[in-house]
Amino acid sequence: MANVELKNLTKKYGDVVAVQNMNLKIPHNEFLVLVGPSGCGKSTTLRMIAGLEEITGGEIFIGNQLVNEKDPKDRNVSMVFQNYALYPHMTVEENLGFSLKIAKVEKKEIEQRVKEAVQILGLEELQKRKPSQLSGGQRQRVAMGRAIVRRPDAFLFDEPLSNLDAKLRTQMRTEIKKLHQNLKTTVIYVTHDQVEAMTLADRIIIMKDGYIEQIGSPIEVFNKPVNVFVATFIGSPPMNIIECDIIKKDNNLFIQVDKNTTFLCPKEKINSLENLKKVLIGIRAEDIVPLDNAITSNNANWTFEKIIDLAEPLGTETQLFFKLSNKEIISRMYNPRPVNIGENIIFQIAINKVHFFNYETEKTI
Amino acid sequence: MMKHIKKISFWFLVLFLLILICMPGIWIFVSAFRPNPEILAKPANWIPDRWTIHQFTQMFSINGYVSVPAFKYLMNSVIISSVSTVIAITIGMMGGYAFARFNFKGKNKIFLGLMLARAVPGISLSLPLFILFAKIGIINTSFGVILVYVAMNVPFTIWLTDGFFRQIPKEMSEVARTDGCTRFQAFWNVELPLAGPGIGAAAIFAFLLSWNEYALASIITRTVHSKTLPIGMMDYLDEFTINWAGMCAIAVVMIIPALILTFIVQKHLVSGLTFGGVKG
Amino acid sequence: MNRKFFSSPAILLLPSILAIGFVIIIPLIFSFYTSFTSYKLTRPDSLFNFVGFRNYERLIDNAKFWAAFGRTILFLAVVLNLELLFGLGIALLINKITWGQRTLRTIMMFPMMFSPILVGFQWKYIFNDNIGLLNNFLYLFGYESAIPWLIDKYLAMGSIMVAEIWANTSIFAILLLAGLLGIPRDPIEAARVDGCNSWQVFKNITLPFLMPFIFIALTIRSLDVGRAYDIVHIMTGGGPAMRTELLWTMIARIGYKDANMGFANAMSYVSIILSIAFTYYFFTKLVAARRELGQQ
């Protein structure tokens, strides 16, 4: 059990940068999720921590010990792979006990610890089976069991759920969360699925092109994304981003979304927007509320009327699609009523829910 | 009706194929167990009137007078083929592992170079080998032949084992390494057992190549001291006469182990050949 | 063995390279040298008698060499093409069989495992004009005069080719069958639905997919073309009157019978370049074919 620290961690493949100057402190017992699109460097980071990938530059500490030069076997971490990587020629039991056997742990002790893991994961019936006789979810459990048995300083998960079907994935997600609560170990978890990241993490790291875009708790990154990338990556459906002009008129500042739609700029943003010509605004689908369903009645809220292009009822909500400044916008209508295509609906946007991004840098204003 | 004709002619073709493949072997087998004169019978006699193991007892009579010391040849063959196979597999496997698991400069070129070394015809190589081996005094020794067979078998073993190792996901070794194995332990405990059947196939293939080799052995081996079965077979070939029955008998001794081994490897051999070798 | 040892491809490859270096590369360098001398086995001092390109010049002027060279090319062209063709046919045939396919596949592999020397002997036996199985068989149908299979110059070459094809077709058949079994069904079914007939399906889908397998077989086969020496050596020894002389038998004759090593080595180099050229050609084709299928 230990904290993990990365200092200026860098990985290059020839001239291609996979991870650039990454600095990170992971306190003991934290569940940290690295999330990002494929090729963002998240898996490479994990593999460098495990020792499976050479480090180009920087330092890695596990439990305050520099491990740069250490073999994977000496780092006392356990890794769970996307394809489970169970040893096909060993039974479940043997798979679980393998690392202890290699470490020359006494037989009794091995049995004891395998038994523990088997109980934690509910694998009692399957001990004598080979991996080929297991279902996907069972294999996943064995892979985790193999990690548990070792009592590592840190668990490393590399997209462990992406080979499972949707239903099983949700179930295993819960199990992983519970497991972490029981074991109280540092977990570093890599995924491309933002839902997994949100549900599991104590802290989320969003990566892109080898850089960290944002670090924060799930609520933080959801509510206060630092830039357009994070805003659109976290949350589903992705945040609506609209390009707007800034117009000064009669000493007031207006945000022109399209020809017919202009909103008054919120007071607290005036200073920062005054000198700009263009701005990107981001609004989550659930914050574009049909007026019938609107809860707040603040005069400063933005309202506008649009023709609905498409309505997708999902039961608890209906997703409404319409065009704003030639961009397709999604709105979520809770407590839905039937909506016809071509119907005119008045929407309301609570101004405190609007995100402003710099047009050039795409950073939050 | 058309369908019937198609089907019948199809099976007829298969049958014809089978006969073509098996007939020579069967004829040799039958001939090994009959008296010499009967071989010359016209028309051919497929089932001997009188079965005899005379040729075999003659070959293998360890005491008494032996015209062809087949037992000694057999022993030479077994020893040379086994030892050279074990060595070739060991070092070839290391090479195959290097190609399957590492990226290094000039990888494809080295691979190609190894294959091209294998392409040198035995007879062309035999001339300089003969002189060199004579110079350093390992001509007509089992050691010399073993050395040659190791080198002949290594490239192909690399080709095959490279394929087998590549069929094993890389994560297998990675997870073993995070599980506390050294790279070698991961190889020994996980990758080797998984590639086991394939490596067995490669070993048998190497064994057969040594077992069957003629061009080089015919030059390097000179006496009963190191001659292998294929060379020993020539003892039945005089300037003007051939002892057909004796030759058939020694042929049977050569074929049977080869057939049994083929039977064992066939499945893995194909997968190794098709998987290995080339990548971008 | 420690970490460094098993982590370094250079060290892993070292024993292989050493073995090949000692048994193949050094002898080849040596024979390259002797090909510029008048070295004769019977006169060791002639090893240092440097004659420049004379051996190669003699080679160029030697009609018998060119005849053997041409014959070797012809032999390889005929044999490789027919083996490929028959191999493909057999693979397609066996691919259609559902019952007993594996047994048949195993049986097919047997000729591959016959020692070439045995193949030569076996076919020498079959083609023997006097006691041979073939003439014996024809006798049944009334051909009483023995056909001199291995003595007539055309028949002898043909007989050798038959033996060579018998021995090596199976490697094509086996590998192409493996290719056929691996073809995904979807594209074939899609093509059927799109209105292709059997021949069009074969030409447009099966064959392109098989190409890498064809080149694997050709590459493996080309590694071993020199083994034809064994067969020819046994069946005819290059005779009658050198009518079946291939490069390899000629090398053996000049090198060992005439003890003219320098000249034989010069000839060896031609044969080596020939083998390497074949292998290299098919190997590059194989790489290209795989790339095309995206199986890098």
**How far apart, in Å, are the Cα atoms of A121 and each of A168, A179, C178?**
15, 9, 42
**How far apart, in Å, are the Cα atoms of A35 and each of A158, A229, A341, C37?**
11, 12, 37, 71
Stated length of chain A: 365
* CATH 1.10.3720.10 in chain B, residue ranges: 70-275
Chain segment C104-161, per-residue pLDDT in tens: 888 888 888 888 888 888 888 888 877 777 877 777 777 777 778 888 888 889 999 9
Per-residue pLDDT band at C217 (split at 50, 70, 90)? confident
| One-letter amino acid for residue B270 of the chain | V
Nearest CB to B128 within list C31, C133, C216 = C31
> Residue A200: what pLDDT?
92
Distance, in Å, from the CA atom of A149 to the CA atom of A144, rounded to the nearest integer, reads 9
Of the residues A206, A233, A260, the one at which a domain ends: A233
Stated length of chain C: 296
Question: If you write DSSP's letter for every residue of chain B in order, what string do you get?
Answer: -HHHHHHHHHHHHHHHHHHHHHHHHHHHHHHHTS-HHHHT-SS--SS-SS---HHHHHHH-SSS--SS-HHHHHHHHHHHHHHHHHHHHHHHHHHHHHHHH---TTHHHHHHHHHHHHHS-HHHHHHHHHHHHHHHT-TTSHHHHHHHHHHHHHHHHHHHHHHHHHHS-HHHHHHHHHTT--HHHHIIIIIHHHHHHHHHHHHHHHHHHHHH--TTHHHH--STTT--HHHHGGGGB-SS-B-HHHHHHHHHHHHHHHHHHHHHHHHHHHHHHHHSS---
Distance, in Å, from the CA atom of A307 to the CA atom of A345, rounded to the nearest integer, reads 6
Residue B275 has pLDDT above 50, yes or no: yes
- State the residue range of the domain holding A261: 240-358
Residue A8 has pLDDT above 70, yes or no: yes
Residue C2 has pLDDT above 60, yes or no: no
> Residue C294: what pLDDT?
58
| One-letter amino acid for residue A283 of the chain | I
- In chain B, % of residues over pLDDT 70: 90
ipTM topping 0.95: no
> Residue C81: what pLDDT?
93
Domains of chain C: 28-39+51-292 (1.10.3720.10)
> Residue B146: what pLDDT?
94
Instruction: Answer whether A79 sits within 8 Å of B175, measured CB to CB.
Output: yes
> Residue B81: what pLDDT?
94
Instruction: Answer whether C97 sits within 8 Å of B14, measured CB to CB.
Output: yes
| Chain B contact present for A321, CB below 8 A | no
Q: Is the peptide bond before B43 cis (omega within 30 degrees of 0)?
A: yes
Chain segment C234-277, per-residue pLDDT in tens: 888 877 777 888 888 888 888 888 778 888 888 888 888 888 88
Give the three-state DSSP class for C151. Answer: coil
| Selected residue with higher pLDDT from B190 and C238 | B190
| Residue A39 CB-density burial (10 A; 0-12 exposed, 13-18 middle, 19+ buried) | middle
Nearest CB to A85 within list B172, B183, B185 = B172
Indicate the helix (H) or strand (E) that contains C262.
Answer: helix C261-292
**B167: closest CA of chain C, how far (Å):** 13
Residue B277 has pLDDT above 50, yes or no: no
Q: Are residues A246 and A324 in the same domain?
A: yes
Instruction: Answer whether B171 sits within 8 Å of A72, measured CB to CB.
Output: no
Instruction: Answer whether B178 sits within 8 Å of A75, measured CB to CB.
Output: yes
Q: Are residues A38 and A182 in the same domain?
A: yes
> Residue C238: what pLDDT?
76
Chain B residue with CA closest to A89: the answer is B194
Chain segment A226-242, per-residue pLDDT in tens: 999 999 999 888 999 99
Residue B79 has pLDDT above 90, yes or no: yes
| One-letter amino acid for residue A93 of the chain | E
Residue C41 has pLDDT above 80, yes or no: no
**How far apart, in Å, are the Cα atoms of C207 and each of A92, C198, C200, C215, C282?**
43, 12, 10, 12, 17
> Is residue A363 a part of any domain in this protein?
no
| Chain B contact present for A73, CB below 8 A | yes
- The encoded tokens of residue C123 equal 């076919």
Instruction: Answer whether B230 sits within 8 Å of C115, measured CB to CB.
Output: yes
| Chain B contact present for A123, CB below 8 A | no
> Is residue A229 a part of any domain in this protein?
yes
Mutation pick from B104, B174, B175, B190 vs chain A, by most beta carbons of A within 10 Å, is B175
Stretch A260-269: mean pLDDT: 83
Distance, in Å, from the CA atom of C207 to the CA atom of C196, rounded to the nearest integer, reads 14
CB pairs A-B closer than 8 Å: 60
Q: Are residues A191 and A281 in the same domain?
A: no
Count of domains observed in chain A: 2
Nearest by Cα to B229 from B58, B97, B73: B73
> Is residue A364 a part of any domain in this protein?
no
**Which class would CATH give B70-275?**
mainly alpha
**How far apart, in Å, are the Cα atoms of A257 and each of A241, A260, A290, C122, C161?**
11, 8, 18, 90, 83
- pTM for the full predicted model: 0.82
Q: Residue A321 sits in a domain of what CATH number?
A: 2.40.50.140
Is residue A147 a contact partner of residue A80, using CB atoms and an 8 Å limit? yes
Q: Are residues A148 and A78 in the same domain?
A: yes
Is residue A26 a contact partner of residue A188, using CB atoms and an 8 Å limit? yes
Per-residue pLDDT band at B95 (split at 50, 70, 90)? very high
Q: Report the mean per-residue pLDDT for chain A.
A: 88
**B101: closest CA of chain C, how far (Å):** 9
Nearest CB to C122 within list B28, B98, B158 = B28
Instruction: Answer whether B194 sits within 8 Å of A89, measured CB to CB.
Output: yes
**How far apart, in Å, are the Cα atoms of B251 and each of A158, B142, B230, B245?**
58, 22, 9, 10
Q: Are residues A27 and A117 in the same domain?
A: yes
Q: Are residues A148 and A271 in the same domain?
A: no
Chain segment A345-358, per-residue pLDDT in tens: 888 888 888 899 98
> Is residue A246 a part of any domain in this protein?
yes
> Residue A292: what pLDDT?
75
Distance, in Å, from the CA atom of B240 to the CA atom of C210, rounded to the nearest integer, reads 48
Q: Is the peptide bond before C240 cis (omega within 30 degrees of 0)?
A: yes
Instruction: Answer whether B18 sits within 8 Å of C26, measured CB to CB.
Output: no
Of the residues A183, A204, A233, the one at which a domain ends: A233
Q: Report the mean per-residue pLDDT for chain B.
A: 84
Per-residue pLDDT band at B274 (split at 50, 70, 90)? low
Nearest CB to C23 within list B91, B124, B147 = B147
Q: Are residues A222 and A313 in the same domain?
A: no
Q: Is the peptide bond before A237 cis (omega within 30 degrees of 0)?
A: yes
Nearest by Cα to B113 from B131, B134, B99, B124: B99
Chain segment B99-134, per-residue pLDDT in tens: 988 888 888 888 888 888 888 888 888 888 888 888
Least confident of A66-75, A114-123, B53-62, C84-93: B53-62
Q: Are residues A48 and A180 in the same domain?
A: yes
Instruction: Answer whether C139 sits within 8 Å of B274, measured CB to CB.
Output: no
Give the three-state DSSP class for A162. Answer: coil
What is the distance between the terminal CA atoms of chain A, rounded to a whole angstrom? Answer: 40
Q: Are residues A140 and A82 in the same domain?
A: yes
Give the three-state DSSP class for C271. Answer: helix
> Residue B59: what pLDDT?
75
Nearest by Cα to C224 from B161, B201, B156, B160: B156
**B194: closest CA of chain C, how far (Å):** 18
Per-residue pLDDT band at C3 (split at 50, 70, 90)? very low
Nearest by Cα to B247 from A132, A329, C128, A228: C128
| Residue C40 CB-density burial (10 A; 0-12 exposed, 13-18 middle, 19+ buried) | middle
Q: Residue A215 sits in a domain of what CATH number?
A: 3.40.50.300
> From start to end of C120-162, where are the E strands?
none
Of the residues A204, A233, A262, the one at which a domain ends: A233
Sort out which chain C residues have CB atoms less than 8 A from B127's CB and list them.
Answer: 31, 251, 255, 261, 264-265, 268
Q: Are residues A132 and A281 in the same domain?
A: no
Q: Are residues A212 and A266 in the same domain?
A: no
Q: Are residues A12 and A143 in the same domain?
A: yes
> Is residue A365 a part of any domain in this protein?
no
